[in-house]
Amino acid sequence: MSSYMGVHVSDQWLQSQFMQVELRSLKSKFISIKNQNGKVTVGDLPPVMIKLEAFNSMFNVEEITGILDELHADLSNEIEFEDFLKAYLNLQGRATAKSGASKQSSSFLKATTTTLLHTISESEKASYVAHINSYLGDDPFLKQFLPIDPATNDLFNLAKDGVLLCKLINVAVPGTIDERAINTKRFLNPWERNENHTLCLNSAKAIGCTVVNIGTQDLVEGRPHLLLGLISQIIKIQLLADLSLKKTPQLVELVDDNNDVEELMGLAPEKVLLKWMNFHLKKAGYEKPVLNFSSDLKDGKAYAYLLNVLAPEHCSPSTLDTKDPKERAKLVLDHAERMDCRRYLKPEDIVEGSPNLNLAFVAQIFHQRNGLTTDSKKISFAEMMTDDVQTSREERCFRLWINSLGIVTYVNNVFEDVRNGWILLEVLDKVSPGSVNWKHASKPPIKMPFRKVENCNQVVRIGRQLKFSLVNVAGNDIVQGNKKLLLAFLWQLMRYNMLQLLKNLRSHSQGKEITDADILKWANNKIKQTGRTSKIENFKDKSLSSGIFFLELLCAVEPRVVNWNLVTKGESDEEKRLNATYIISVTRKLGCSIFLLPEDIMEVNQKMILTLAASIMYWSLQKAVEDVESSPSPSNGICTATPDASPAQSVSGEDEISSLGGEVSYLNIDDDDSDTAVSSQLENEKSPTVE
């Protein structure tokens, strides 16, 4: 793999927007211009950009020149590679807007919310406002500002303080944010406002939103296109929450045999919704399958058939008899109204094929009346197919972490989606740039099974190069979907990413590998420096369940972030839960992207406890580096630091960075507890040998 060195970009956010194969290609084009001219100017870019496949059918040279002229004061100015990448992203955003199509149609959660797209849909805005007015109208704090008038910009102005978005996240996934951590004064200072938005963005990641292109400043400024993009994702997560076998076992009626059930479990929520819709349409005699939420629904006929089979008592023959699509759409919405379905769209939205609003409307119909069986045998079978609590919790953590990295493919179900190896290669390319040989990788859809095995074999080879414990593991084990193996591999991958981030921050000093002992020593020392007495022996220490240790650690790295009036003694289970939920929200408010649950702290889940400690350590070290160098260092993946989250400085940069000691080694955790030693766990598994 040595011949495939990664292209490194100093701006980590910018690096997160590209796969290594894209960066290598763009870098070679940039160098070719430089070799010809000795330097690269803005004026050199149009002839190069027009040859790129992404733009050659969307713009001509004059249009590209005009766009670049808007971005740069002088076309003769010399630019660096990062400026070239930013220009590419700008053109890519405009091309997406011009085509009117999302780059990723496979999942609404991957919908583009880039700062480059400035158009908004007034219909969508009105629908989201209606949703907010309905669900947050009685909120003790927000009711003084609601209802919002959709004809004004009140939505964007109200969102500037961050409270609305945090509350909306809690509506979508209750309990995500401890509302005690939200700053809810009538007038917030810039630091408090920034804290709310930092909490919002990190919590949005924690429920599955794609927010790699949105920063706190975008929300503070109330940029309409970005706010609507984020609000759209949050609302859709809420509306599609029941589209899984775990939440709605009756969905098993949509499939015929066991293999189909596994396939159903791996489908994206909107795909399950389409499958449900077609299931009922087939029963109703509607012959044309609905493949999307836009063009296939424009004439309103599919809606008419669907509502007739779900609520025949409200059906009207005139709905199908009318020849005017707009009139039919109106009758469909009248029918839905009689079913007590909240309207998310107008007749015009159906006729125009608005995908977001149609999806929301169908989801509302499903929620109101899904028309599925109550057959106890089938439901019992579906419940048997779901994972145990611990496995589900770990799958959730790794899924959210992968999606937070900004890779191209969105993960809906880890156990199903990674089996062809492609997603794991994408993740490896992010956490270890240049490690993947893309010439030997096959991109989905992959028809031939051996191509999947080839992908997974490369995954295992790279894992061994990164010194992962992979005893008796082959690519086929991943293809087969061995859950224990996958969880253990992903844990090592996440851990490697975490340690590399910490190591890179220390490159200004010793540059040694970070170990679990270093993280433990750092955490204990930070608390000791404040004069407090909390101390843990390891990351399995049962005293961690009270939450006091982490609250003292958070206070040590940023004194103003913890309100001790809200902290309990952590003695009873209820007190432990209150502290745990507060810890998670305060850590996100500080600037860390973490994906654990309160139960992980209460039960002292060693892996998740370690990620929490490492995330806080990363934030603290990064802030120390910034204090020393007076320059931001944005992060990617495990933790996203927010330099201006607080006006107070809590550490001395040089002391913070140089205080860590420790030998060069990898993070070592008791394998019996963490399943770090990955070995093939098939039915005929052999006893693994120790490497």
Q: Which residues pair with 678 in a beta bridge?
A: 470
- Is residue 32 in some structural domain? yes
Is 544:607 a contact under the CB 8 Å cutoff? no
Predicted pLDDT at 442:
93
Average pLDDT over residues 286-294: 90
User: 79 and 203: one domain?
Assistant: no
Q: Residue 625 pLDDT > 50, yes or no?
A: yes
User: 372 and 396: one domain?
Assistant: no
Q: Is 677 helix (H, G, I), strand (E, B) or coil?
A: coil
Q: Which residues pair with 471 in a beta bridge?
A: 679
Q: Residue 535 pLDDT > 90, yes or no?
A: yes
Beta strand residue intervals within 100-237, DSSP E: none
Beta strand residue intervals within 365-484, DSSP E: 470-471
Confidence of residue 104 (pLDDT cuts 50, 70, 90): very low
- Is residue 478 in some structural domain? yes
- Is residue 6 in some structural domain? no
Predicted pLDDT at 555:
95
Which residue bears the tokens 């993070």? 667
Which one is predicted more confidently, 14 or 219? 219
Confidence of residue 691 (pLDDT cuts 50, 70, 90): very low
Which residue bears the tokens 């101390």? 535
- CA–CA distances in Å: residue 147 to residues 155, 184, 196, 346: 10, 18, 22, 20
User: 259 and 175: one domain?
Assistant: no
Asked which of 212-216, 645-649, 678-682 is least confident by mean pLDDT, the reply is 645-649
Q: In angstroms, rounded to a whole number, what is the distance separating the alpha carbons of residues 229 and 217?
A: 15
User: 524 and 618: one domain?
Assistant: yes
Q: Which residues contact 208 (CB under 8 A, 6 or more apart)?
A: 109, 237, 399, 400, 403
Predicted pLDDT at 658:
46
Q: Please spell the DSSP secondary structure of 382-404, one letter per residue.
A: HHHHSPPHHHHHHHHHHHHHHHH
Asked which of 177-181, 221-225, 237-241, 291-295 is least confident by mean pLDDT, the reply is 221-225
Number of independent structural domains in the chain: 5
- Is residue 556 in some structural domain? yes
Confidence of residue 657 (pLDDT cuts 50, 70, 90): very low
Domain closes at, from 603, 628, 653: 628
Confidence of residue 49 (pLDDT cuts 50, 70, 90): confident
* H or E element in which residue 678 lies: strand 678-679
Phi and psi at residue 578, to the nearest 5°: -60, -45
Q: Residue 16 pLDDT > 80, yes or no?
A: no
User: 258 and 274: one domain?
Assistant: yes
Q: Residue 100 pLDDT > 80, yes or no?
A: no
Which one is predicted more confidently, 8 or 420? 420
Predicted pLDDT at 248:
86
Predicted pLDDT at 255:
82
Domain closes at, from 596, 612, 628: 628
Q: In angstroms, rounded to a whole number, what is the distance separating the alpha carbons of residues 185 and 148?
A: 19
- Is residue 107 in some structural domain? no
Confidence of residue 377 (pLDDT cuts 50, 70, 90): low
Encoding tokens for residue 581? 């939920």
Instruction: Give which of 490, 477, 491 is closest to 681, Cα–Cα.
Output: 477
- Is residue 674 in some structural domain? no
Average pLDDT over residues 397-425: 92
Encoding tokens for residue 530? 């404040």
User: 498 and 413: one domain?
Assistant: yes
Handedness of CA 63, 68, 71, 72 (dihedral sign): negative
Residue 337 Cα to chain centre, angstroms: 34
Predicted pLDDT at 453:
95
Q: Residue 98 pLDDT > 80, yes or no?
A: no
Predicted pLDDT at 54:
64
- CA–CA distances in Å: residue 103 to residues 114, 446, 484: 12, 20, 33
Encoding tokens for residue 438? 């893309």
Confidence of residue 46 (pLDDT cuts 50, 70, 90): confident
User: 523 and 501: one domain?
Assistant: no
Encoding tokens for residue 111? 């919908």
User: 197 and 267: one domain?
Assistant: no
Q: Residue 184 pLDDT > 50, yes or no?
A: yes
Query: CATH number of the domain that 486 lies in?
Result: 1.10.418.10
Is 478:485 a contact under the CB 8 Å cutoff? yes
Predicted pLDDT at 506:
62
The pLDDT tens digits for 383-410 are 555 566 888 899 999 999 999 988 888 8
- CA–CA distances in Å: residue 134 to residues 127, 142, 147, 334: 11, 12, 8, 20
Q: Residue 680 pLDDT > 50, yes or no?
A: no
User: 405 and 435: one domain?
Assistant: yes
**Residues of the chain above pLDDT 70, percent:** 80
Instruction: Give which of 248, 210, 15 is closest to 102, Cα–Cα.
Output: 210
- Is residue 566 in some structural domain? yes
Q: Residue 454 pLDDT > 70, yes or no?
A: yes
User: 566 and 579: one domain?
Assistant: yes
Instruction: Give which of 427, 445, 429, 446 is closest to 437, Cα–Cα.
Output: 429
Instruction: Give which of 421, 412, 411 is closest to 443, Cα–Cα.
Output: 421
- Is residue 577 in some structural domain? yes
Which one is predicted more confidently, 3 or 528? 528
Average pLDDT over residues 30-50: 80
Predicted pLDDT at 19:
64
Predicted pLDDT at 666:
36
Which one is predicted more confidently, 661 or 203? 203
* H or E element in which residue 339 lies: none
Average pLDDT over residues 272-291: 91
Cβ neighbours, 10 Å, residue 604: 16
The pLDDT tens digits for 293-310 are 999 999 999 999 999 889
Confidence of residue 276 (pLDDT cuts 50, 70, 90): very high
Which residue bears the tokens 């396939």? 263
Q: What is the mean pLDDT of the chain?
A: 81
DSSP summary character for residue 43: G
Q: Residue 60 pLDDT > 90, yes or no?
A: no
Is 580:547 a contact under the CB 8 Å cutoff? yes
User: 376 and 391: one domain?
Assistant: no
Predicted pLDDT at 567:
95
Per the structure, the complete domain to which residue 340 belongs is given by 249-383
User: 377 and 260: one domain?
Assistant: yes
Confidence of residue 318 (pLDDT cuts 50, 70, 90): confident
Domain closes at, from 319, 350, 383: 383
The pLDDT tens digits for 105-119 are 333 444 433 333 346
